[in-house]
Amino acid sequence: MHTALSTRPFGVAETHGVLTLASADVTASSEGLNWRSLFVSSQTETPFSGSFTARDLLFVLFRAPAEGRRLADRSRIHAPAGSVRVVPSEAPMDVDLVTPTDTVHLYVRRTVWEEVAMDMTDGDAAGIMPAAGWINAEPLLFALADAALAAAEAGCTDPSFSDHLARSIASHVLATHVGLRFKPRRTASGGRALSREVARAVDFIEANADRSIGLQDIADAAIRSPSHLARTFASEVGMPPHRYLIGVRIRRARQLLARTDAPIAQIAFECGFTHQEHLTRLFRKHFDTTPAAFRRALRD
């Protein structure tokens, strides 16, 4: 899976469309503020009915109670003040609002959600979504929404603020309502914690060192551009990604030479080298000896 933070503003045109209806009296929003990761709006909604979809995740926060019906079976729905309706990415939002209410619409870009989910799991983040439905009380999410609205009302045009706030919202929902927890962070040789992007790159390299991979593959796994990853990786690890990859392969080859009787050509292939001569050349460069001589010295 590859995701990347969006660089385009997150405007009302990418929402479900409810805010553009005559039934929505919007009092504040982040429209036009160049926010990329988050969209927020506050409004009074009067009765309307319809079915809507959008790519990004929506949390509808009810500041006042509301009554409605399900479109499918016309059964009644009561949303108390302080409750939240969760609308996952691509999920239909069926609305038959019967009474006026005051709401906050809080959108988180799907790409941001997936990046945070990737930080918190070893699985495929694309499949991790909150369940569609209702949360009866969510004071922290209301507080985060209030922070977003306060910034919107103040005319904050710094997109980094919304980026950080969107990640905070995503990590809170993932931890509280999906059950994920952040993985322990990898550390560099000096003991300093690696950034999430470099940790993802290291994980990818170590999981795929036995096959042909390049900087673009590693950057895709880290969800960064190749140039950005190369700079950050070298700064944190002390060497470029390709040199780290070679080191992983060489260390694995040395372990197999010491612990097995496998032919050197087979070891070279299993460790990701193109041929035995490639392994021999790099092994000599790292350890000032050949694979065959290294093995003989251990057994003499």
Indicate whether 195 pLDDT > 70. yes
Indicate whether 296 pLDDT > 60. yes
Indicate whether 28 pLDDT > 90. yes
- Tokens 């409004």, located at residue: 43
- Domain limits for position 89: 12-178
Contacts 24+ apart (CB under 8 A), 267-273: 267/291, 270/210, 271/209, 271/210, 272/209, 272/210, 272/211, 272/212, 272/245, 273/249
Which residues are paired to 68 by β-bridges? 77, 97
Q: d(Cα 107, Cα 17) in Å, to the nearest integer? A: 12
Q: Is the domain of 284 the same as that of 140?
A: no
Q: d(Cα 230, Cα 238) in Å, to the nearest integer? A: 11
| pLDDT per position as a tens digit, 268-290 | 999 999 999 999 999 999 999 99
Q: Is the domain of 101 the same as that of 225?
A: no
Mean pLDDT score, 15-25: 95
Q: Is the domain of 143 the same as that of 264?
A: no
pTM as predicted: 0.67
Q: List the structure tokens of 30.
A: 């982040």
Q: Is the domain of 266 the same as that of 128?
A: no
Would you give the DSSP letter of residue 155?
A: T
Check which CATH number belongs to the domain holding 73 and give it: 2.60.120.280
Q: Is the domain of 140 the same as that of 252?
A: no
Q: Is the domain of 228 the same as that of 80?
A: no
Instruction: Quote the number of domains for the chain.
Output: 2
Q: Is 195 exposed, middle or buried (0-12, 13-18, 19+ CB in 10 A)?
A: middle
Q: Is the domain of 53 the same as that of 156?
A: yes
Q: Is the domain of 35 the same as that of 157?
A: yes
Looking at the domain assignment, is residue 171 inside a domain? Answer: yes
Q: Is the domain of 19 the same as that of 127?
A: yes
Looking at the domain assignment, is residue 24 inside a domain? Answer: yes
Check which CATH number belongs to the domain holding 246 and give it: 1.10.10.60
Looking at the domain assignment, is residue 66 inside a domain? Answer: yes
* Helix spans in the chain (H): 110-120, 139-153, 159-173, 196-208, 215-222, 226-237, 241-259, 264-270, 276-287, 291-299
Q: Who contacts 96 (Cβ-Cβ below 8 Å, separation ≥6)? A: 49, 68, 69, 70, 71, 74
Looking at the domain assignment, is residue 113 inside a domain? Answer: yes
| pLDDT per position as a tens digit, 51-90 | 999 999 999 999 999 999 988 888 999 999 999 999 999 9
Looking at the domain assignment, is residue 247 inside a domain? Answer: yes
Q: Is the domain of 109 the same as that of 251?
A: no
